[in-house]
Amino acid sequence: MNATDLITHYAAYDQWANTRLVERLLREPEAVLDAPLKSSFPSLRETLMHIRNAEHVWLQRLLGMRHNWPAEADSSLAMLLKHNELLVTHVRTLDGPALDRICTYNDLRGNAHEQPVWQMLMHCFNHSSYHRGQVITLMRALDLPDVPATDLIVYQRSLLKKA
């Protein structure tokens, strides 16, 4: 497998896992999504919006554009999927040379950085996985039923079943 295939695979996994969480949590009332919780972010919604905002920022950096934080005012769960789709669509356009391109960007504090695009994407997807794990833990803490599995291996096994 080459780098392009690997990054595209990881992007598809990111989209699959985000979709599983959003589809499951859309069955919950707003009060559950906004219930105060002790974690990195104060609620399920805020944790998911952090994933959305971060994926938005990384895409804008890759495109050489200014970003907004938050990505937008609408904090409905569907907005995570909207911004995730934009990122995944962009990733699908990248080939080896584009992934190896050095991208210059500023972090949220204004510090300048230079990295290959593939490293930025690996960080972005790993960051989302980290926070999805927190969402799973928060769902369990709230005793929510039907907590979806979002592990990479579960995604990969699902692809094998489809083949």
User: How confident is the model over 93-132, as pLDDT tens digits?
Assistant: 999 999 999 999 999 999 999 999 999 999 999 999 999 9
pTM above 0.85, yes or no: yes
d(CA 11, CA 92): 8
Structure tokens given for 123 = 């960080």
CA dihedral 153, 34, 76, 144 (to 10 degrees): 40
- Which CATH number is 125's domain given? 1.20.120.450
| Residue range 18-71, pLDDT digits in tens | 999 999 999 999 999 999 999 999 999 999 999 999 999 999 999 999 999 999
Structure tokens given for 150 = 């979002």
Q: What is the mean pLDDT of the chain?
A: 97
Structure tokens given for 22 = 């959003």
Which among 46, 24, 17, 23 is positioned nearest to 140, based on CA atoms? 24
Confidence (pLDDT) at 163: 84
**Domain of 77?**
3-162
Total domains in the chain come to 1
Confidence (pLDDT) at 1: 77
**Helix spans in 64-162 (H):** 78-91, 96-100, 117-141, 152-162
Distant-in-sequence, close-in-space partners of 105: CB < 8 Å, separation ≥ 6:
61, 112, 113, 115, 120
